Structures are given as C-alpha cells and as structure tokens.
Amino acid sequence: LTRKVAWFKKTPNRVYAPELAREVSRSLGKANALLMKYHGIITVGPDIRKAVLAASFLELAAKRQVLNEQVSGAKPMDKATADDLATDTNFERIGAAIWSYYERKLGPGVIS
C-alpha cells in the first residue's frame, strides 16, 4: 500500500493557504503518502480504508526502522531489496487483519 513516500520540505508552517495546499498536492504526486517536515504524514487512497491502512503501514515501518537503528545501528535497505520485499508482501491480507482489528477496537458500526 505504501511503496512510495513523497517528501514536503518547503515550510514548517501549517498548510492554510490554497497555494501552499497545491504545492503539497503536487509534492504528493502519485504517491499515497507524504511526509511533511516538522508535521507528520498525509495519506490518501481511493477510499478511507486504503488511506488509513497506508498510514498504519507507514507508521509501523517507521517504528521498526527507528528501533532497528537504535538496537543494531542498521541502515535503510537498498531499493532493490525493498522492492523485492514489497512484491513478496501480501498487503491485502495484512490490511484486512489491521482493518478488522480497528473495527473490533472501535466497536460495531463505527467505521463500516
């Protein structure tokens, strides 16, 4: 779900102005996640489920990367390895499990 993450580094300010919002949109491009310097992430998708799952996958990957660097001094993997892992990962199955967890946690009818 989140194979490409775009970056928006232009300003630490909140995005209130329409022109700045357009720049954020242009920076997002075809990615489904955007990291905004000093702010966090924006995720998009064809529906709310895909956007939420993109955020969940990105958050989990970021946490694992930070922990891995703290414990072993590991560095990010090369693009070819990352692409191979992304190809071998069943995002739909994992996404369904995460979505089911959110439904149980929030209660019936909240996100359905």
- What 3 state SS string does 46-103 have? CCHHHHHHHHHHHHHHHHHHHHHHHHHCCCCCCHHHHHHHHHHCCHHHHHHHHHHHHH
pLDDT band per the 50, 70, 90 thresholds, residue 12: low
- Whether the model clears a pTM of 0.85, i.e. scores above it, the answer is no
79, part of any domain: yes
Mean pLDDT of the chain: 83
48, part of any domain: yes
Count how many domains the chain has.
Answer: 1
The enclosing domain of 76 has a CATH number of 3.40.225.10
112, part of any domain: no
